[in-house]
Amino acid sequence: DNALSITSDGLTIRLEGGVEPNKPVRYSYTRQARGSWSLNWLVPIGHEKPSNIKVFIHELNAGNQLSHMSPIYTIEMGDELLAKLARDATFFVRA
């Protein structure tokens, strides 16, 4: 169930995860602003089963407007975790 871990030192947000514990995918995003940020993910839907999620970070200004967006990162996932993520599409972190 721990297919994705997120750490931050306030300036850099690091994502690590994937299906294979011995071969994790690692991404690092250096923040452009100092406000709040949210981690978002997209779960592909359709007749074929998805094998990954797309993860990206939104940075928000003081008015909660989008100020910056990270690149879109791909992380391989298993079916059980993908079903769970499809129900819980976003969470929000306040700085």
Helix (H, G, I), strand (E, B) or coil at 40: strand
pLDDT value, residue 23: 79
Q: Report the run of H or E that residue 49 belongs to, with start and end.
A: none
Question: What's the rounded Cα separation, in Å, for the pair 90 and 42?
Answer: 9
Question: What's the rounded Cα separation, in Å, for the pair 92 and 80?
Answer: 23
Question: What's the rounded Cα separation, in Å, for the pair 59 and 9?
Answer: 15
- Stronger pLDDT, 80 or 68, i.e. the higher one: 68
**pLDDT tens profile 3-51:** 678 899 989 999 988 777 677 889 999 999 888 998 888 877 666 665 7
pLDDT value, residue 90: 57
- Dig out the tokens for 39 from the structure: 């981690």
DSSP 89: -
pTM over 0.85: no
Domains of the chain: 4-93 (2.60.120.200)
- Stronger pLDDT, 63 or 80, i.e. the higher one: 63
